[in-house]
Amino acid sequence: MVQQVPENINFPAEEEKILEFWTKFNCFQECLKQSKHKPKFTFYDGPPFATGLPHYGHILAGTIKDIVTRYAHQSGFHVDRRFGWDCHGLPVEYEIDKTLGIRGPEDVAKMGITEYNSQCRAIVMRYSTEWKSTVTRLGRWIDFDNDYKTLYPEFMESVWWVFKQLYDKGLVYRGVKVMPFSTACNTPLSNFESHQNYKDVQDPSVFVTFPLEEDETVSLVAWTTTPWTLPSNLAVCVNPEMQYVKIKDVARGKLLILMEARLSALYKLESDYEILERFPGAYLKGKKYRPLFDYFVKCKENGAFTVLVDNYVKEEEGTGVVHQAPYFGADDYRVCMDFNIIRKDSLPVCPVDASGCFTAEVTHFAGQYVKDADKSIIRTLKEQGRLLVASTFTHSYPFCWRSDTPLIYKAVPSWFVRVENMVDQLLRNNDLCYWVPEFVREKRFGNWLKDARDWAISRNRYWGTPIPLWVSDDFEEVVCIGSVAELEELSGAKITDLHRESIDHLTIPSRCGKGSLHRISEVFDCWFESGSMPYAQVHYPFENKREFEDAFPADFIAEGIDQTRGWFYTLLVLATALFGQPPFKNVIVNGLILASDGQKMSKRKKNYPDPVSILQKYGADALRLYLINSPVVRAENLRFKEEGVRDVLKDVLLPWYNAYRFFIQNVVRLQKEEEIEFLYNESTVRKSPNITDQWILSFMQSLIGFFETEMAAYRLYTVVPRLVKFVDILTNWYVRMNRRRLKGENGMEDCVMALETLFSVLLSLCRLMAPYTPFLTELMYQNLKVLIDPVSVQDKDTLSIHYLMLPRVREELIDKKTESAISRMQSVIELGRVIRDRKTIPIKYPLKEIVVIHQDPEALKDIKSLEKYVIEELNVRKVTLSTDKNKYGIRLRAEPDHMVLGKRLKGAFKAVMTSIKQLSSEELEQFQKTGTIVVEGHELHDEDIRLMYTFDQATGGTAQFEAHSDAQALVLLDVTPDQSMVDEGMAREVINRIQKLRKKCHLVPTDEITVYYNAKSEGRYLNNIIESHTEFIFATIKAPLKPYPVPPSDKILIQEKTQLKGSELEITLTRGSSLPGPACAYVNLNICANGSEQVLEDFLQGHTCG
- Active-site residue list: 47, 86, 527, 563, 567, 600, 603
The SS3 assignment for 621 reads helix
Is residue 571 within 8 Å of residue 577, measured between CB atoms? no
Is residue 611 within 8 Å of residue 56, measured between CB atoms? yes
Residues in a beta bridge with 1086: 1095
Considering only CA atoms, give the Rg of the chain: 38
Distance of alpha carbon 586 from alpha carbon 713, whole angstroms: 9
Is residue 576 within 8 Å of residue 421, measured between CB atoms? no
Distance of alpha carbon 784 from alpha carbon 778, whole angstroms: 10
Q: Is 907 exposed, middle or buried (0-12, 13-18, 19+ CB in 10 A)?
A: exposed
Q: Which residues of 159-195 are buried (b: 16+ CB within 10 A; e: fewer)?
A: bbbbbbbbbeeebbeeebbbbbbbbbbbbbbbbbbbb
Cβ contacts of residue 732 below 8 Å, gap of 6+? 655, 1100, 1101, 1102
CA-based nearest residue to 701, from 617, 614, 815? 815
Give the CB-side neighbour count of residue 999, counting CA atoms within 13 A. Answer: 19
Distance of alpha carbon 1100 from alpha carbon 732, whole angstroms: 7
Fill in the DSSP letter of residue 852. E
Distance of alpha carbon 385 from alpha carbon 364, whole angstroms: 17
Q: Which residues of 360-388 are buried (b: 16+ CB within 10 A; e: fewer)?
A: eebeebeebebbebbeebbebbeeeebbb
Helices (H) and strands (E) counted in the chain, each on its own, are 39, 41
Distance of alpha carbon 1096 from alpha carbon 655, whole angstroms: 13
Q: Is the CA virtual torsion 57, 59, 60, 65 positive or negative? A: positive
Q: Which residues of 60-88 are buried (b: 16+ CB within 10 A; e: fewer)?
A: bbbbbbbbbbbbbbbbebbbbbbbbbbbb
Question: Which helix (H) or strand (E) element contains residue 93?
Answer: helix 90-100
Q: Is 801 exposed, middle or buried (0-12, 13-18, 19+ CB in 10 A)?
A: buried
Is residue 887 within 8 Å of residue 956, measured between CB atoms? yes
Fill in the DSSP letter of residue 86. B
Distance of alpha carbon 894 from alpha carbon 625, whole angstroms: 39
Distance of alpha carbon 279 from alpha carbon 300, whole angstroms: 26
The SS3 assignment for 946 reads strand
Fill in the DSSP letter of residue 735. I
Fill in the DSSP letter of residue 834. H
CB atoms within 10 A of CB 497: 13
Q: What is the largest CA-CA distance in the chain?
A: 121
CB atoms within 10 A of CB 511: 10
* Proportion of the chain in helix, strand, coil states, percent, rounded to 5: 45, 25, 35
CA-based nearest residue to 680, from 800, 792, 795, 794? 792
